[in-house]
Structure 1
Amino acid sequence: MFTHIMIGSNDLERAKSFYDATFVALGGNPGEMDARGRLIYVHEGGRLMITTPIDGKPATAANGGTIGIAAASQDHVLAWHAAGIAHGGTAIESPPAERPNGAFVAYLRDPDRNKLTARTKPTK
């Protein structure tokens, strides 16, 4: 359904440090900067792009929005969460835990306050 997700950042260098660490923790690769100055992450068919806003105004986090990132295992979710905290993210919601549907889930806010979740596939 989606081709990509684009989010804004007020500090691309800080965003790269955070997202490189969290995607590497999931078994992915560091992001690459494209010719237009956007960070691009490609992982398991998904594409996340991070840019400074085109309109020149400050980037803000979506109120009520969450970006979900697939993880292969509970260990990957925990590594993602730890890497995010170590690179400027903030733990939010409940601690990493299994949900009633069997998915293992963790939540973070990135340094620009975007809400993220890493989760395994449901087992029930």
Structure 2
Amino acid sequence: MFRHMVFGADDPEAARVFYDATFAAIGVGPGVPDPNGRFIYRHEGQMLIIGRPIDGQKATHANGGTLGFFAPSAEAVHAWQTAGLTNGGSLCEGAPKERISPATGQMVTVAYLRDPTGNKLCVVYEHEQA
């Protein structure tokens, strides 16, 4: 459904360090700089773009917004959160946990972080159905 998402960052380099580390934990390569000083992350036809806001104003995060990513395993969920906390992110909603997804009714392992700008992120591993 999504082609790309864009997050503003007042410190694009701090954002790059955070996203390179967290994405490595879930099998996504590092960001590639573009001519405008933004970093572009590509995976399976989708893009996440991180950089200074085009209008020159201070970056802000969405109130109530969360961007979710797939993880290849429950272990990757834990590695993602650890990498984020080690690389400028902050804890959001506690340690990774297993629960039933209210959206799908499926068992998931999920973790949340805030990136260096304050954007809320989550990563989800959807367990195999028995």
Equivalent position to 2:121, from 110, 116, 119: 116
Is 1:97 the counterpart of 2:82 in the alignment? Answer: no
- Give the AA of the match of 1:75: E
CA deviation after TM superposition for structure 1 residue 43, in Å: 2.2
3-state SS in 1 of match to 2:10: coil
Listed as ranges, the gaps of 5+ residues in structure 2 are 101-105
Q: Post-superposition shift, 1:104?
A: 0.6
Question: Residue 62 of structure 1 aligns to a residue in which SS?
Answer: coil
Q: TM-score, normalised by structure 2?
A: 0.90
SS class of match (2:107): coil
The answer for the alignment partner of 1:73 in structure 2 is 73
Shift of 1:122: 5.1
Tell me the alpha carbon deviations over residues 68-116 of structure 1, each in whole angstroms, 9 at most, x when there is no partner.
0110100111100000000010111132011123111000000100000
- Alignment match, 2:112: 107
CA RMSD of aligned residues (A): 1.2
- The amino acid across from 1:85 in the alignment is L
C-alpha distance in structure 1 between counterparts of 2:76 and 2:41, whole Å: 17
CA distance in 2, matches of 1:12, 1:81: 20
- TM value normalised by structure 1: 0.94
Q: Distance in 2 between matches of 1:42 and 1:118?
A: 16
Amino acid at match of 2:122: T
Deviating above 4 A after TM superposition, structure 1's stretches of 4 or more consecutive aligned residues are none
Single out whichever of 67-76 and 43-52 deviates more from structure 2: 43-52
Q: Partners of 2:24 and 2:127 in 1: how far apart?
A: 22
- Given that 1:103 and 1:123 are in contact with CA atoms closer than 8 Å, whether structure 2 keeps it comes out as no
- Structure 1: 5+ residue stretches without partners: none
Query: Equivalents in 1 of 2:66, 2:128: separation in Å?
Result: 22
Separation (CA, whole Å) in 1 of partners of 2:107 and 2:44: 21
Q: Whose strand fraction is larger, Structure 1's or Structure 2's?
A: 2
Shift of 1:121: 2.2
Q: Distance in 2 between matches of 1:102 and 1:47?
A: 27
Indicate conservation of the 8 Å contact 1:39/1:51, yes or no.
Answer: yes
Which segment is superposed worse, 92-101 or 69-78?
A: 92-101
